Amino acid sequence: MKKKTVIRFAVILVITLVFLYFFLRKIEWPNFFANLTNVNPWLFALVIILAPLHLFTRGFRWRYLIKPEKANPRYYNLFAGNAIGFTVTLILPGRLGEIVKPLYLAQKENIRKGFALGTVVVERIFDMLTMCFLLGLFLLLRPLSSSASRVSEMTLKWLRLWGIIGMAFALTLLAIVLCLHFFKDKTLKVINFFLKPLPLKFRHKVDEFMEEFIQGLKFFHSFGNLLIFLGLSFVVWLGMVFYYWLFVLAYKEVVPFSLVIPYVFLTMVGASIPTPGMVGGYDYFSKLGIVSLFGIAATKAAGMTLVVHTIQVVMTCLIGYAILVREKLSIFQLRKLGEDVQE
C-alpha cells in the first residue's frame, strides 16, 4: 500500500474515533437500549420505506444538469448512479462515491467523463446554497414560532457560525465554477502555467479533462434549466426535512416542521466529513441537533441517531448492491475506478 494512502486512512481513522468519542459521551447504557424500540410502528415502517426518497428526487434534479450534453438521459441510470455513488460513499472512506457516481453515468449514457464530474460539482454547490438559505430563513422567522424561539442562544450562535461558513464556502466554489465557465481560456492558461514543471503528456491529459469538465458547467447558459434545478434543489432538501420530521414523530416526539431544518443542516455538516459510512461525524452532529434543538435527552438522542443512520445505510446499500448485481459490477472495481481518477 502506498505511503500516501496509509497516511490518508490514518487521518480518517483518527477523525472517526474523535467524533465517535464525543458521540458516545454521556450515554446511560441501560436506558440507551430501552429507547431503541419505543416507537410508533406505523410511522417507523413509513420511515424505512421512505429512506431512498432522496435518490428519486436527486435523479430528477440531475437530469437538468445532463441536458446540455444529452437531452433525454434514461431515468434509471440517473437513479442508479445516485444509489451506487451513495453506496460507495457509505462503505468506503474518502467520499469516493462522489467520483464513482458521474463516471457510472458517463459510461451508461455515453457522455464525457469530465462533463459528468462537472455536473456533480454543481450539484454539491447548490446543495450547500439551498440548505444555507433554508437555515437563514429559519433564523429569520424563528421569533414567529413559539417552539423555535426557545432554542438557546448558544445553539443559535453555532448555527449562525456554521451557516456563514457553509454559505461562504458554497459562494466561493460557485465563483470559481463561474470563472471556469465564463473565462475558460484565461482559466486554462493559469492552470497550464502552474503545470509547466510537469511532463507534457500529463499536461495534455489535464487540458483534455478540464475542457470536458468546463463543458459540464454550460448548464448555466439556460436560465430556464437553472430555475428548474434550483426549484428541484428545494424539493430534494425539503423532502429530507420531511423525512427526518417523520422519524422524530415515529419516536413519539412532537416538534415543529421548521425546527427540523437546522437539524438537517447539522447532519449535512456531519455527513460532509469523509469518514467511512459517515460514522462519527454524522452521528455527533445528529445527536447534537436532537439534544440542542428538540430538547431530547442525550441517551435517547444517541439511540435515535443510531437507528436512523442504520436505516439509511442498510436501505441505500441494499438498493446499491441490487443494482451492482444487475450490472455485474463489484464494489472493488468501483473503488479502483474512483482512486484512478483521484490520482
pLDDT of residue 80: 93
Q: What mean pLDDT is predicted for residues 75-93?
A: 89
What is residue 149's predicted lDDT score, i.e. its pLDDT? 61
Given a cut of 70, is residue 4 above it in pLDDT?
no
Residue 3 pLDDT = 65
Model confidence pLDDT, tens digit, residues 60-76? 999 988 888 888 889 99
Tens of pLDDT, residue by residue over 170-180, are 788 777 777 77
Residue 305's pLDDT is 92
56 pLDDT higher than 80 = yes
Domain boundaries, the chain: 3-342
* pLDDT at residue number 215: 66
Q: How many helices (H) and strands (E) does the chain have?
A: 15, 0
What 273-276 contacts at long range (C-beta under 8 Å, 24+ apart), as own/partner pairs, is 273/15, 273/19, 274/12, 274/93, 274/94, 274/95, 275/12, 275/15, 275/16, 275/19, 275/93, 276/12, 276/16, 276/90, 276/91, 276/92, 276/93
State the pLDDT at residue 76.
Answer: 94
pLDDT for the residue numbered 272: 85
Q: Band the pLDDT of 139: cuts 50, 70, 90.
A: confident
Tell which wins on pLDDT, 271 or 183: 271
Higher pLDDT, 193 or 90: 90
Question: Closest Cα to residue 279, out of 5, 48, 36, 19?
Answer: 19
The answer, yes or no, to whether residue 331 has pLDDT greater than 80, is: no
Is pLDDT above 90 for 275? no
Give 94-97's long-range contacts (Cβ < 8 A, gap of 24+).
Answer: 94/8, 94/12, 94/274, 94/342, 95/274, 96/334, 96/335, 96/338, 96/339, 96/342, 97/338
User: Residue 337 has what pLDDT?
Assistant: 58
Average model confidence (pLDDT) across the chain? 82
Instruction: Yes or no: say if 57 and 320 are a contact pair by the CB < 8 Å rule.
Output: no
Q: Which of 282, 260, 259 is nearest to 269 (CA)?
A: 282
Q: Give the separation between CA 144 and CA 138, rounded to whole angstroms.
A: 10
Q: What is the pTM of this model?
A: 0.85
- Does pLDDT of 6 surpass 90? no
Query: DSSP code of 27?
Result: -
